[in-house]
Chain A
Amino acid sequence: MNFLILMPILFPILAGLILPLLKLGNDREKRQKYVGAVVSLTVLSVSIVISAGDLSLRLFQVTNSVYMLLAIDDLSRFFLVLIALLWLLVTFYTFEYIKHEGKDVRFFSFFLMTLGVIMGLCMAGNFFTVYLFYELMTLITYPLVVHSETPAAMKAGTRYLAYSFVGASLALIGFIFVGHFGLTINFTPGGVLDPAMVAGHDNLLLVIFLLTFIGFGCKAGMWPLHAWLPVAHPVAPAPASALLSGVITKAGVLAIIRATFYIFGMDFIYGSWVQITLMCMTLLTVFMGSMLAYKEKLLKRRLAYSTVSQVSYILFGFTILSFLGFEGAMLHIVFHAIIKNILFLAAGAVIYMTHQTYVYELKGVGKSMPITMWCFTIASVALVGIPPTAGVISKWSLAMAGIMSSYPLLGTIGAGVLLVSALLTAGYLISIFANAFFPGADFDYKNLKNTEPVKLMTVPLIILSVCCIFFGMFPTPLMNFIDRIAFALF
């Protein structure tokens, strides 16, 4: 039974590897059927794996203490379901979008492999496995970033690699210290550090934790290793940007959750200077990201800056180290993933149909592409945090957690930063859809054509938007599940 756990990893990776060898040639339809089938079957295998109990599988004894461990717990289930479902929706959207990018064999090949790698990251049961999949993810997503192979894309890709490898090196330093100071490298709620060995080295290990956090924070776009994100996400094809921003940043978040709550342990960090430092760093990123997004004129880059800001909302929630903060952060993981996917896919649809990339060029798009822009609007409203959409619940929890944290002053400032950032979010998103729907009196209504994209692109958008509202109104089942994870930790 335990071998089932390999399915969601190996199946898409192998399918991706053999795709270029299949000689599907120019037969786009066959290729799409193949990719669609693979992703659907992966989702199916995920549903089998998550319902088959706490599976675990040990592979590859690399050294005496280091081996690969895949294991399923509630946190893995949470990420597996979220990512697999989003991937499925984006896949269908991609079928249409990729027509305008070309080289789709290579794109889909790496697209499938990325899915396998990220599934592996979700199911990682120890630090080594996380590190392995984290590094793999950098390599496998690189072709998605540089897909267009323009000089700008290549430059962005190099920057992406540079930041990712620096981040991974920091995480490796953390891994090495855990290998020495830990009782095991397997994830254990409450942490694995050996108190007898740590005694006397507390400060050193806190520094190491900080480095690990920053290292994994690279993928999550946290300051100071955030600068690749606003460059790399926009150059990728829209479906890839959506996944990079919506899903792959969450892989960084997952690694941080594992390191914080399952390796170093909450008790070790709680109340230390590192906690304060990290809270300040995440808040800085939240504020900086929204400011830069507000100033940015290129639509996709504006969304990328918004990701920088929003993912640090999530990280801020975790650094509070309280039940409420954890709950808010986990909720925001789901909501931001959904919302950012809508925003990038809608932006992609606009670019695909109109070839307009700057925000001021989008005047009146709402008239010609109503469905797309309505979805965009719903997502924007949700990201700002206006009821009844999803964002409000997570943002409320995060702000409350900040105020009620063990550092009331910093927490309250934090809540203030979140509020200001929400206002900025409103500023940079509402202007877009306001312009799109109310182009002003001088707008030329006569030449208006319906440029709505085909159903393959709009249906995923609609489904995601419905989810966005649905979770805003009925968050209880999701919250119950998050509470189940949190109870094991707090």
Chain B
Amino acid sequence: MLPFTMTIILMVSAAVILAVGKNSFAKRLTLGVLGISFAMSIAMIAKTAGGGIISLVLGNPPWNISLSVGALEAFMSCVFTGIGFIIMWASVSMIDHDVEQKRIPLYYTLICILVAMLCGIVFFDNMFNVFILIELGSTVAAGIVVIKGQPENIRAGLKYFALSILGSGFVLMGLVVFYTLTGALSYTGIQKGLLENFNVNSVFYALVFITIGVGFKSALFPMHIWLPDAHGTAPSPSSAMLSALVLKAYVIFYIKILFLVVGHQAIASNEELSMLLNIVLILGVIAMIAGSFMAILQTDIKRMIAYSSVAQIGYIYMGIGLNSELGLFAGIYHILAHAVTKAGLFLAAGSIIEQTHNREINRMGGLGYQMPITISLFAIGALSMIGFPLFVGFNSKWYFSMAIMDSGQFWLVAIIALSSLLNTVYYLPVVVRSFFGTEAREKSENRVLLERPVKDLLPIIVLFGLVIIFAVFSAPIINIIETGMANIW
């Protein structure tokens, strides 16, 4: 019952926030309900850590409501609600700058629905339910982009919405193929159906459709074209939610389709299916390199971070494309690593923009003397993205590398090294220019402190604390992911 109750509570609070319509109430209730959801997610982890599954079935298959939550789902729920909580905590002081007062209750309504939908996508076992949530997610996610109300937001939001719906269409086509093939709608149901009636051609087309659909939604290169606009122009807490969390829910859905429904052995033993995964791998690799190159070309700090997400999503798809247990593990670990780091980076960038009204990287010289804490925090995020040891980004880079070595495709190690070098090229100058150089020298002499109060910076500090804590005390996380993967692999 726990996961279902949690989803319902989130949905109900969304409605309550809109009904009451008070800003401070909206903020408080959102934080409260996210906190409760996080506690419930921790309880779910405690229940499933031994390998158990919480399941709930209402009605008769195939057209029913069913949930199935193992350790992986509980872990993802922790990520969504926990990091969501921290982002919303940061939004309390940031959102007033980006969103009109009268729209703030609506904003928090959308956020509550969004988190409910993210958790729902991983909880629900019935694809029909999952699809409805995915559709709902497209609308809500576009909503938190356009809520800022500037023309460029509306343009970006519409682009996002259109491509997201297109993606949903592809996902639906894939699900239809699975349904006609097996007559089932749940992951396990389709899996059983496929064991009896494995038609390679149908499965191949279903996977192609779902890959394209999920690719659009999670911004797999070259289906990422909406992401820089949407993430770059959205209010910073929205960018953090979208980059850190929203993309990941679709990836989990994709992972379950691939490895739970179809299965890694079936993929490995069929030429067509392994070719498809190879294409996913190649697209991931291209995203890693191309995303970084495009990030280097950006002058707007938020667009730069957004392009960096394209590259980081590429890492995750590369891990999936390896079709190996280690690769999948690395991908899931990176979901967490990227979520904490990218959320922090977007919030730090948001703080910079809010205080200096400047988004241009070229004009950030000497900022380290005006906002020393924010820039230092940004530096932690940058180093984590670069893959510096003792930051969480290094851990996932290491897991990806070990997965690559295990699969024998040694050339990919060079890609990893190249990609982290490229990350250095665009992340490090921001930090370096803030503290050193002619402008820095001038600004250090006439110091104007623009730092936000520590109270407001606290959530960002917590996020970057997690970046380090997850890196040096990673054993519990490794255990949970491994237990969760046992249900899928």
Q: From residue 433 to 452 of chain A, which have CB atoms closer than 8 A to chain B?
A: none
Q: From residue 181 to 219 of chain A, which have CB atoms closer than 8 A to chain B?
A: 181, 204
Knowing A177-B413, A180-B402 are in contact, say whether A61-B474 is a contact too (CB < 8 A).
Answer: yes
Q: From residue 379 to 412 of chain B, which have CB atoms closer than 8 A to chain A?
A: 388-390, 394-395, 398-399, 401-402, 405-406, 410
Knowing A132-B389, A180-B405 are in contact, say whether A204-B410 is a contact too (CB < 8 A).
Answer: yes
B421 CB to closest chain A CB (Å) equals 5
Besides A68-B390, A128-B389, 14 more A-B contacts (Cβ < 8 Å) are A60-B471, A60-B472, A61-B474, A62-B389, A62-B471, A62-B474, A131-B389, A135-B389, A143-B435, A146-B436, A161-B428, A169-B417, A172-B417, A173-B414
Please determine whether A132 and B475 come into contact, CB atoms closer than 8 angstroms. no
Please determine whether A169 and B420 come into contact, CB atoms closer than 8 angstroms. yes
A151 at the interface (CB under 8 A from B): yes
B412 CB to closest chain A CB (Å) equals 10
B219 at the interface (CB under 8 A from A): no
The complex places the Cα of A265 from the Cα of B398 at a distance, in Å, of: 23
Please determine whether A62 and B390 come into contact, CB atoms closer than 8 angstroms. yes
Digit string of B67-102 for contact with A (CB within 8 Å is 1, else 0)? Answer: 000000000000000000000000000000000000
B483 at the interface (CB under 8 A from A): no
The complex places the Cα of A400 from the Cα of B399 at a distance, in Å, of: 46
Collect the chain B residues with CB atoms within 8 Å of residue A62's CB. Answer: 389-390, 394-395, 398, 471-472, 474
Q: From residue 46 to 96 of chain A, which have CB atoms closer than 8 A to chain B?
A: 59-64, 66, 68
Please determine whether B398 and A63 come into contact, CB atoms closer than 8 angstroms. yes
Closest to B440 in A: A149
B438 at the interface (CB under 8 A from A): yes
A157 at the interface (CB under 8 A from B): yes
Please determine whether A169 and B473 come into contact, CB atoms closer than 8 angstroms. no
Please determine whether B421 and A166 come into contact, CB atoms closer than 8 angstroms. yes
Collect the chain B residues with CB atoms within 8 Å of residue A142's CB. Answer: 432, 436
Q: How many A-B residue pairs have CB under 8 A?
A: 83
Please determine whether A63 and B478 come into contact, CB atoms closer than 8 angstroms. yes
A165 at the interface (CB under 8 A from B): yes
Collect the chain B residues with CB atoms within 8 Å of residue A181's CB. Answer: 405
Please determine whether A179 and B401 come into contact, CB atoms closer than 8 angstroms. yes
A430 at the interface (CB under 8 A from B): no
Please determine whether A157 and B474 come into contact, CB atoms closer than 8 angstroms. no
Closest to A134 in B: B389
| Number of interface residues, chain A, beta carbon within 8 A | 33
The complex places the Cα of A131 from the Cα of B395 at a distance, in Å, of: 14
Digit string of B143-156 for contact with A (CB within 8 Å is 1, else 0)? Answer: 00000000000000
B48 CB to closest chain A CB (Å) equals 22
Digit string of A149-167 for contact with B (CB within 8 Å is 1, else 0)? Answer: 1010010011001000110
Collect the chain A residues with CB atoms within 8 Å of residue B389's CB. Answer: 62, 128, 131-132, 135
Please determine whether B413 and A173 come into contact, CB atoms closer than 8 angstroms. yes
Closest to B414 in A: A173
Q: Out of A64, A132, A143, A151, which one reaches B478, CB within 8 Å?
A: A64
The complex places the Cα of A173 from the Cα of B415 at a distance, in Å, of: 10
The complex places the Cα of A204 from the Cα of B414 at a distance, in Å, of: 13
Jot down 26 A-B pairs with beta carbons below 8 A, ordered by A: A60-B471, A61-B472, A61-B473, A61-B474, A61-B475, A62-B394, A62-B398, A64-B478, A66-B398, A128-B389, A132-B390, A143-B436, A146-B436, A149-B441, A154-B436, A154-B437, A161-B432, A166-B421, A169-B418, A170-B417, A172-B420, A173-B417, A176-B401, A177-B413, A180-B405, A180-B406
The complex places the Cα of A169 from the Cα of B420 at a distance, in Å, of: 8
Q: From residue 420 to 448 of chain B, which have CB atoms closer than 8 A to chain A?
A: 420-421, 424, 428, 432, 435-438, 440-441
B402 CB to closest chain A CB (Å) equals 6
Knowing A149-B437, A176-B401, A179-B402 are in contact, say whether A63-B414 is a contact too (CB < 8 A).
Answer: no
The complex places the Cα of A262 from the Cα of B428 at a distance, in Å, of: 32
The complex places the Cα of A63 from the Cα of B435 at a distance, in Å, of: 33
The complex places the Cα of A39 from the Cα of B428 at a distance, in Å, of: 30
Please determine whether A165 and B471 come into contact, CB atoms closer than 8 angstroms. no
Please determine whether B399 and A63 come into contact, CB atoms closer than 8 angstroms. yes
Q: Out of B406, B437, B474, which one reaches A63, CB within 8 Å?
A: B474
Please determine whether B436 and A157 come into contact, CB atoms closer than 8 angstroms. yes
Q: Out of A128, A143, A177, which one reaches B405, CB within 8 Å?
A: A177
The complex places the Cα of A280 from the Cα of B417 at a distance, in Å, of: 27
Collect the chain B residues with CB atoms within 8 Å of residue A60's CB. Answer: 390, 471-473
A173 CB to closest chain B CB (Å) equals 5
B404 CB to closest chain A CB (Å) equals 8
Collect the chain A residues with CB atoms within 8 Å of residue B420's CB. Answer: 169, 172
The complex places the Cα of A166 from the Cα of B474 at a distance, in Å, of: 28
Knowing A62-B389, A166-B421, A169-B421 are in contact, say whether A151-B438 is a contact too (CB < 8 A).
Answer: yes
With most chain B CB atoms within 10 A of its CB, the pick from A63, A66, A179 is: A63
The complex places the Cα of A179 from the Cα of B438 at a distance, in Å, of: 43
With most chain A CB atoms within 10 A of its CB, the pick from B432, B435, B441, B475 is: B432
With most chain A CB atoms within 10 A of its CB, the pick from B398, B414, B428, B440 is: B398
Digit string of B225-244 for contact with A (CB within 8 Å is 1, else 0)? Answer: 00000000000000000000
Please determine whether A149 and B421 come into contact, CB atoms closer than 8 angstroms. no
Closest to A61 in B: B475
B87 CB to closest chain A CB (Å) equals 26
The complex places the Cα of A143 from the Cα of B432 at a distance, in Å, of: 9
Collect the chain A residues with CB atoms within 8 Å of residue B399's CB. Answer: 63
A149 CB to closest chain B CB (Å) equals 5
Collect the chain A residues with CB atoms within 8 Å of residue B432's CB. Answer: 142, 157-158, 161
The complex places the Cα of A135 from the Cα of B475 at a distance, in Å, of: 24
Collect the chain B residues with CB atoms within 8 Å of residue A154's CB. Answer: 436-438
B57 CB to closest chain A CB (Å) equals 37
A226 CB to closest chain B CB (Å) equals 19
Which 6 residue pairs spanning A and B have beta carbons closest together? A180-B405, A132-B389, A60-B472, A176-B401, A169-B417, A149-B441
Collect the chain A residues with CB atoms within 8 Å of residue B438's CB. Answer: 149, 151, 154
The complex places the Cα of A177 from the Cα of B404 at a distance, in Å, of: 10
Collect the chain A residues with CB atoms within 8 Å of residue B435's CB. Answer: 143
Collect the chain A residues with CB atoms within 8 Å of residue B475's CB. Answer: 61
Closest to B400 in A: A176
The complex places the Cα of A173 from the Cα of B412 at a distance, in Å, of: 10
A130 CB to closest chain B CB (Å) equals 10
Collect the chain B residues with CB atoms within 8 Å of residue A61's CB. Answer: 472-475
Collect the chain A residues with CB atoms within 8 Å of residue B441's CB. Answer: 149
Collect the chain B residues with CB atoms within 8 Å of residue A161's CB. Answer: 424, 428, 432
The complex places the Cα of A154 from the Cα of B440 at a distance, in Å, of: 12
